Amino acid sequence: MAKYQRPTCILTASFDDDTTPPWEEIPDEDKIVYAGSARGCDKTGITDFKSICLATGVCNYAEGHPGAFGLSINKTNIDTFIQKTDELLSNMNDEAIYYVDYIYQGENINTTNILDIAALENLWGKDIDEPLIAIHSLKITPEMVTIYDKKGYTIKIQLSNNVSILKFNATE
């Protein structure tokens, strides 16, 4: 899900009585059920993937949280499920959506706010995400950029107000 920014279903085949089929015995196709977990993708705006799955009309169940839930589909309905979810998600945004805590314009960055946020890093964890800051309309020239190559690329952008922006582990 994170790599492709798409909702994901991880399902395992079993008999309709919830036992895993033995390799040597192949049951009738209509007795095979795929069950497991499904997850929406908040970054592309799919926060209620469960409703989308249920709207296909072919799920045995979709139970749990709207964004992360248990899912079951008969093998005979898998192709229909894929076709219908593809249709329901055909207008899905291809760009990730990021919710940010601050938006600065150009080089008008409040360094005190950033240092105050950085001082709270021990609070970030399971229920408190690391803050995200966006900088809009920042013009970057080649003279402002320094690239360091030590165990992955680090990019430094030096602003005229003595603020340095660092990007660690950047790709080439």
Of 3-12, 62-71, 149-158, the poorest mean pLDDT is in 149-158
From the number of C-beta atoms within 10 Å of its C-beta (0-12, 13-18, 19+), residue 20 rates as: exposed
What pTM value is reported for the model?
A: 0.61
The pLDDT value recorded for residue 20 is: 57
Q: Do residues 64 and 25 touch, judged by C-beta distance below 8 A?
A: no
What DSSP state is assigned to residue 21?
P
- pLDDT at 11 exceeding the cut of 80: yes
The pLDDT tens digits for 81-132 are 999 999 999 988 777 777 888 899 988 888 888 889 889 989 888 778 888 8
